[in-house]
Amino acid sequence: MRQVRITLNEETGARLEGWAIDPHISASEVRARPAMIVAPGGGYLNLAHREAEPVAARWLGMGYQVFILRYSVLLGAPEEGVEPQPNLDARYPVQVGEAARAVAYVREHAEELGVDAERVFILGFSAGAHVAISLAERWQDFGEAARPRGVVGCYPMLRALDRGDDVLQEFSALAVCGTKHPSDEQRAEVDLVEHANASMPPLFLWHTSEDGLVPPADTARFAARAMELGVPCELHIYREGHHGSGLCDQTTSAHGEHMNPHNATWAALADEWARGL
């Protein structure tokens, strides 16, 4: 197995890490595999560990070459007793450029990584989905090599969050909008529903109707807009489940509330969707 680790942003330490299985299926057959780039959530403040390696391992086991996009975050890893100091070099949309470089790198190094260059996907959770879907909307800014074959959005954050006096939400707004108290105009600039366009690659979206942090109605509106534009879109809204459920099983569960066998079907459905493109 080949391991990959490249720096995407010297200023913030953003990087791409990956694992590529030997493409030799047998002594006489070599098969390029699809690639999945995984972008964890974390509100643009840090990166959620349970949405990184465990998810990459699952897709590796399903036959993909896998990569983790450790994009720039405002606060980084917390230190006990130390007040976090925002890294303003990590403000959005720098992460979109990092995602573009990640997709382009995997595609440009497809032969050595055993990747099918036409089948490079990106999958994001929450804020990571905001990164992935931002790239879906803006890939033309970076060139054809940065266009994913398809995008998987897991309980996606589609607009800047605004929850009043919540300190973490204020920092998230700072990371996305550049201010802790964004105006309506500033929020509209990062609202992905507003900027959906017909050039987006195919989408697979899933959410839960019980999500109390990121509105599932936003995901439904985004899917509807994508379909109006003629963009292929598969949407699953599960009845139960909390934000941050990851794979929805014991692999990524921090609490019992994150485990739901029905919701855990999303990964197999996304795999089936990707292989059908």
Beta strands in 40-181 (DSSP E): 65-70, 115-125, 150-154
Q: Which domains does the chain have, with CATH numbers?
A: 2-77+84-275 (3.40.50.1820)
Mean per-residue pLDDT, 159-175: 74
Give the confidence band of 81 by pLDDT, cuts at 50, 70, 90: low
Q: What is the pTM of this model?
A: 0.94
The count of other CB atoms within 10 Å of the CB of residue 211 is 21
For 180, residues 6+ apart whose C-beta sits below 8 A from its C-beta are 170, 171, 173, 174
Mean pLDDT, the chain, rounded, equals 92
Nearest to 152 by CA among 131, 179, 176: 131
> Average pLDDT in the 259-271 region?
96
Q: What is the mean pLDDT of residues 4-11?
A: 96
pLDDT per residue as tens digits for the range 103-155: 999 999 999 999 999 999 999 999 999 999 999 999 999 999 999 999 999 99
pLDDT in tens, 230-252: 999 999 999 999 999 999 999 98
pLDDT of res. 19: 96
**pLDDT category, 26, cuts 50, 70, 90?**
low
Residues facing 153 on adjacent strands:
124, 205
CA 153 to chain centre: 6
Higher per-residue pLDDT: 1 or 18: 18
Distance, CA of 17 to CA of 34 (rounded, Å) = 16
Q: What is the pLDDT of residue 255?
A: 73
Model confidence pLDDT, tens digit, residues 145-155: 999 999 999 99
